[in-house]
A and B are shown apart, each in its own frame.
Chain A
Amino acid sequence: MVVCRCLLVLLFYVQPLQADSYWSHMPGFGSVKLTEMEQEQHNALSEHLSLSQQQTKQWLDDLSAQLKALSCSTTDAQSQPLPAYVAQRYFVVSYAGVLKFESNDERDETVWWLPWSLLPFLSQLKAELGQPDRQVHQPLLLNEQELGQHGQFILVSGTSNQSPSYFALRLSPLHLPELLWSVSADVTGFEGLAGTASQPLMLREQHRVSDTSSLSVLLANTGVTEQKALVYKVDAYTGKQQGLLKMPKSIYDLSGAMTAYDQNRDSIPDSLIFSSRAGQIWQAKMENHRFHDITPVADLSGFQPSDIQFIRTLYAAVPIGGSGADFHSRRSQWLVLLGLLQRQKSIFVVLKPKQSAVPDVYDFVDRTLAVTSGLIALTDHELQLIQQKDGWSSRLTGRLTQPPIVAAGVLYLTVLTQDPAHFCSIEHSYSAFMALHLHHASPVYRQPLFPLDRSAGALVIKSNKEGGFVLIEQNHQQVLIDNLLEISPNCTYCSKPLQKSSFPRWQLMGTYQNEEGVY
């Protein structure tokens, strides 16, 4: 009796710690919890895995250990926080399609989503995560503001190249994941889908006539070598194909990084920037559901990148020479921010796209930070070169863990340097954090590089009690910078603390006068 009670008490305490739940979508049955399957579902699973009943049972018992072995703590630094209305303190990370929803509170259960098609390949995924020359892209999160529906949350992710597919999960609430749609080469219209190692891209379109908006997702077909579709445009809710970008002959081996931008600034994205793994950057015009006019933006193959980590665009007033504070010494233009991967290392590039020529490696000014010697002055000649040429590049010692963030003209980068022998081990890696001047890549703060004890996740800016702003890293709630600076155009290095009281700011864009009548 006492033993029984002891066991019960033990069970009671042990249960919450081990209560990881594993979900998948079983064709014909819907979302199932792999630990609580009925006989029929069990049979379907063993058929899918081509294992006997007994072996399937063994496989299920080993699942926890298998997923533990799959876990790659350096990939965890790429995790994204879930919105608070879905689950508090939860983060999601994708291991080439296997999704882990983990809380930073150990008492909360970890939820795993295993794409059905990936189940037979679980043991092979680890090799893919450990490839230093490839970027493991994270899923796209669509929250209630983007969906326009209260309490809704959809996640769109690509899977490993072992069994390429894209899928969308509805997670409201988190503990009942539901598969909305999935596409793979078996689905009509997606026959050419050969690689899905990419972060899908959200696209919102406003229909002028009916005053409704629709949400689409762009899915890249990475790793294509033959002449097939490069990018699919699908409906975010149904996965139905709306359009596709056909590949011209000269483009192959697409990287998973891409971005949409609004070239004519009318609030409707009209262009897509994408790249090949080798570093060629292209732009395609988008109109309704059609893509046309593929033009090269830059050729960065001279940097010899192994993959492209991120592409982002930014609209900024770029200095073009003359006195700094003068309004006419700046030009408004789009910048393209790129994170190129060179195996364990990477290069960050800020590119000023031009209509006339396609810039290559020699058109960028190398502004790599010399970490050891502290502040290095930027010469007038270098500044002039940056203004005349097509931008700057900076070599980083590791890879970026999160997309770059620009706040008040300062570029914040989180860098993780991995040990090639222990690629997936965070203990053997080195984390740092950098803050660079957007226009000439000089350090903005006294310290050019901030070493971190723990790897940095998603960054967020919050106001502090003193009326300024702090930069917080969300995974471990570390305060990275306790008083953010803002760059100022008065001089090359000018910066001032960012004050909360200075918002909202007003800017006078123009005044005109009108007179009418007679005396």
Chain B
Amino acid sequence: MMLSSRGFILVTTLILILILSSISLPMLVQASLSQKLSASATLSAQLKLRTQSKHAQQLELLQQGTIESADFVLAPCPAFYAAWSDLSFQCEWHQLRTSEASFQHQHSVTSFLVRKSLLEGGRNGSL
């Protein structure tokens, strides 16, 4: 009788310990995971911000003519509200790509721009 009640208490205690640990352990794991997650999110956001600000700078430099874009093609102009007869306008399509990397992560921003320039006098002597 004595033996059986002692065994019962042991089993109950063990079960209680099991329940308690199964509640607390995931909480610990979750806490450490979320810490890791927030760190990586911060890193990613920083990288994103860095790439975007660099891209914005490069866009400005491209428009000032200080740097050249990766490649461009001469193509028909997009439609304008203030339209021009074909011969007097020239359009170049530029592609500007900025990419930044940290550890095993890479982020890139690509913009497509049209450079519109006016050919004075037109290609034909007329407009």
Q: Is the CB of B83 within 8 A of A315?
A: yes
Find the A residue at minimum CB distance from B114. Answer: A507
* B-side interface mostly: mixed
Find the A residue at minimum CB distance from B52. Answer: A513
Q: Is the CB of B105 within 8 A of A314?
A: no
Find the A residue at minimum CB distance from B126. Answer: A458
For B112, the chain A residues whose CB sits under 8 A away are 508-511
Does A143 touch B at the CB level, under 8 Å?
yes
Does B118 touch A at the CB level, under 8 Å?
yes
Q: Is the CB of A407 within 8 A of B81?
A: no
Q: Is the CB of B88 within 8 A of A315?
A: no
Does B71 touch A at the CB level, under 8 Å?
no
- Considering only residues 96-127 of chain B, those with a C-beta below 8 Å from chain A are 101, 103-118, 120-127
Q: Which of B59, B79, B108, B117 is close to A504, meaning CB atoms less than 8 Å apart? A: B117
For A312, the chain B residues whose CB sits under 8 A away are 85
Q: Is the CB of A487 within 8 A of B82?
A: yes
Q: Is the CB of A462 within 8 A of B83?
A: no
Given that A267-B75, A461-B88, A508-B113 are known contacts, is A409 also in contact with B104, CB under 8 Å in the complex?
no
Q: Which of A265, A439, A505, A513 is close to B107, meaning CB atoms less than 8 Å apart? A: A513
Q: Looking at chain A, what size class is its interface with the partner chain?
A: 35 or more
Q: Is the CB of B116 within 8 A of A503?
A: yes
Q: Is the CB of A462 within 8 A of B63?
A: no
Does A81 touch B at the CB level, under 8 Å?
yes
Find the B residue at minimum CB distance from A329. Answer: B81
- The 0/1 profile, CB within 8 Å of B marked 1, for residues 73-88 of chain A is 0000000110110000
Q: Please, how many angstroms separate the alpha-carbon atoms of A246 and B20 in the complex?
A: 91
For B88, the chain A residues whose CB sits under 8 A away are 407, 461
Does A145 touch B at the CB level, under 8 Å?
yes
Q: Which of B105, B113, B118 is close to A518, meaning CB atoms less than 8 Å apart? A: B105
Q: Which of A265, A406, A516 is close to B105, meaning CB atoms less than 8 Å apart? A: A516
Find the A residue at minimum CB distance from B92. Answer: A504
Q: Is the CB of B126 within 8 A of A489?
A: no
Q: Is the CB of A317 within 8 A of B79?
A: yes
How many residues of B are counted as interface, with CB atoms below 8 angstroms from the partner's CB atoms? 46
Q: Please, how many angstroms separate the alpha-carbon atoms of A459 and B127 in the complex?
A: 7
Given that A406-B84, A503-B116 are known contacts, is A514 also in contact with B107, CB under 8 Å in the complex?
yes
For B62, the chain A residues whose CB sits under 8 A away are 506
Does B11 touch A at the CB level, under 8 Å?
no
A387 CB to nearest chain B CB (Å)? 13
B37 CB to nearest chain A CB (Å)? 9
For A266, the chain B residues whose CB sits under 8 A away are 76
A392 CB to nearest chain B CB (Å)? 15
For A511, the chain B residues whose CB sits under 8 A away are 109-112
For B115, the chain A residues whose CB sits under 8 A away are 504-506
For A474, the chain B residues whose CB sits under 8 A away are 126
Given that A460-B122, A505-B115 are known contacts, is A409 also in contact with B110, CB under 8 Å in the complex?
no
For A333, the chain B residues whose CB sits under 8 A away are 79
Does B78 touch A at the CB level, under 8 Å?
yes
Q: Please, how many angstroms separate the alpha-carbon atoms of A332 and B104 in the complex?
A: 43
Q: Please, how many angstroms separate the alpha-carbon atoms of A81 and B103 in the complex?
A: 65
Find the B residue at minimum CB distance from A457. Answer: B126
Q: Is the CB of A316 within 8 A of B80?
A: yes
Does A319 touch B at the CB level, under 8 Å?
yes
Q: Is the CB of A317 within 8 A of B123?
A: no
For B78, the chain A residues whose CB sits under 8 A away are 332, 507, 509
A134 CB to nearest chain B CB (Å)? 24
Does B34 touch A at the CB level, under 8 Å?
no
Does B46 touch A at the CB level, under 8 Å?
no
Does B44 touch A at the CB level, under 8 Å?
yes
Does A408 touch B at the CB level, under 8 Å?
yes
Does A515 touch B at the CB level, under 8 Å?
yes
**Beyond A315-B83, A514-B107, 6 extra complex contacts between A and B, CB < 8 Å:** A145-B123, A314-B85, A316-B80, A335-B83, A509-B113, A516-B105
Interface residues of chain B, those whose CB is within 8 Å of chain A, are 40, 43-44, 48, 59, 62-63, 75-86, 88, 93, 101, 103-118, 120-127
Interface residues of chain A, those whose CB is within 8 Å of chain B, are 80-81, 83-84, 141, 143, 145, 262, 265-267, 312, 314-319, 330, 332-333, 335, 405-410, 438-439, 458-463, 474, 486-489, 503-519
A-B contact pairs, 12 of them (CB 8 A): A84-B125, A314-B85, A315-B83, A319-B81, A332-B79, A459-B126, A461-B88, A462-B120, A486-B82, A505-B115, A508-B113, A512-B110
